[in-house]
Structure 1
Amino acid sequence: MTAQIELAHAPSDAISAVRFAPQSPNRLLVASWDRNVYLYDTKSGEQGSLLQKVEHRAPVLDICFGDDDSTAFSAGLDWHVNRINLETGEKSVISSHQAGVKSIVYSDKHHLLISASWDSTLHVHILNNGNIAHAPSTIPLPSKPFSISLTPTKLVVAMASRHIFIYDLAALKMLTSQSAPSQESGNQSILEIQPWQQRESSLKFMTRAVCCMPNDQGYALSSIEGRVGVEWFDPSTESQSRKYAFKCHRQADEGVDVVYPVNALAFHPVHQGTFVSGGGDGFVVLWDGVTKRRIRQYQAYPSSVSSVSWSSDGRYLAIAISPGFEDGNEVISEGQVKLFIRELADGEAKGKSAK
Structure 2
Amino acid sequence: MFATTNQPTSSDFEVSSPPTDGISSLVFNSQQDLLSATSWDNQTRIYQVMPNGSTQPKAAIQHEGPSLSSAWTKDGTKLLSVGCDKAGRLMDLNTGQTVQVAAHDAPIKSVRFIDGGNMNNVAVTASWDKTVRYWDLRTQSPVSQLSLPERCYTLDVMYPLMVVGTAERHIFLYNLTNPTTIFKQIQSPLKWQTRVVSCFQNGSGFAIGSIEGRVGIQYIEDKDQSSNFSFKCHRDDDKKQVYCVNDISFHPIHGTFSTAGGDGTFNFWDKDAKCRLKAFSNIGSPVSCTAFNKNGSIFAYAASYDWSKGHEYNTQQLTNKIFLHPVKEEDIKPKQKKLGR
TM-score higher than 0.5 here?
yes
> Are residue 265 (structure 1) and residue 248 (structure 2) matched?
yes
2:106 aligns to what SS in structure 1? coil
Deviation at 1:202, TM superposition (A): 0.3
Alignment of 1:276-287 (within 5 A): 276-287=258-269
Deviation at 1:134, TM superposition (A): 5.9
Residue 51 of structure 1 is aligned with which of 34, 47, 58? Answer: 58
Larger CA deviation: 203-212 vs 155-164: 155-164
Identity %: 31
Give the Cα–Cα distance (whole angstroms) in 1 for the partners of residues 329 and 69 of structure 2: 31
Please give the alpha-carbon distance, in whole angstroms, between the structure 2 residues aligned to 1:39 and 1:22.
14
Counterpart position of 1:293? 275
CA–CA distance in structure 2, aligned partners of residues 354 and 42 of structure 1: 35
- 1:196 is paired with a residue whose SS is strand
Q: Note if 1:211 corresponds to 2:221.
A: no
Whole-angstrom distance in 1 between the partners of 2:24 and 2:184: 29
1:243 corresponds to 2:237: no
Could you tell me which of 188, 191, 197 is aligned with 2:184?
Answer: 197
Q: CA deviation at 1:3?
A: 3.4
Structure 2 unaligned blocks of 5 or more:
1-8
Which residue of 317, 325, 332 corresponds with 2:299? 317
**Which of the residues 224, 243, 254 maps onto 2:211?**
224
Deviations 1:168-198 (A, max 9, x none): 11212xxxxxxxxxxxxxxxxxxxx430111
Q: 1:46 to 1:150 in 2, by over 3 A?
A: closer
Partner of residue 186, structure 1? none
SS at match of 1:240: helix
Distance 1:325 1:164 in 2: 24
What CA distance in whole angstroms lies between the structure 1 residues aligned with 2:309 and 2:98?
37
SS at match of 2:221: coil
Unpaired stretches in structure 1, ≥5 consecutive residues = 173-192
2:15 aligns with 7
Determine if the alignment matches structure 1 residue 159 to structure 2 residue 166: yes
Equivalent residue, structure 1, for 2:134 = 124
Contact between 2:61 and 2:89, CA under 8 Å: does it hold in 1? no
TM-score (norm 2): 0.90
TM-score by length of 1: 0.87
CA–CA distance in structure 2, aligned partners of residues 98 and 199 of structure 1: 26
Kept in 1, the 8 Å contact 2:165–2:172? The answer is yes
Three-state SS of the structure 2 residue aligned to 1:256 is coil
Q: Residue type of the partner of 1:90?
A: Q
Corresponding residue number in structure 2 for 1:146: 153
Pairwise CA RMSD: 1.9
Residues 264 and 282 in structure 2, CA contact (< 8 A), matched pair in contact too: yes
- The alpha carbon displacement at 1:302 in A equals 2.4
| Structure 1 residues 110-166: Cα deviation after superposition (integer angstroms, max 9, x where no partner) | 322100000000011135xxx348643221111111100111211100111211111
Structure-2 separation of matches of 1:354 and 1:52: 45
Q: Offset of 1:290 from its aligned partner? A: 0.7
Distance 2:17 2:337 in 1: 38
Q: Whole-Å Cα distance in 1 between the matches of residues 106 and 139 of structure 2?
A: 22
- Asked whether the equivalents of residues 281 and 305 of structure 1 are also in contact (C-alpha less than 8 Å), the reply is yes
1:345 to 302, 320, 328: 328
Deviates more, 1:12-21 or 1:43-52: 43-52
Between Structure 1 and Structure 2, how many residues are aligned? Answer: 326
Kept in 1: contact 2:88–2:100 (CA 8 A): yes
Contact 1:303 1:324 in 2 (8 A): no
* Partner SS for 2:260: strand
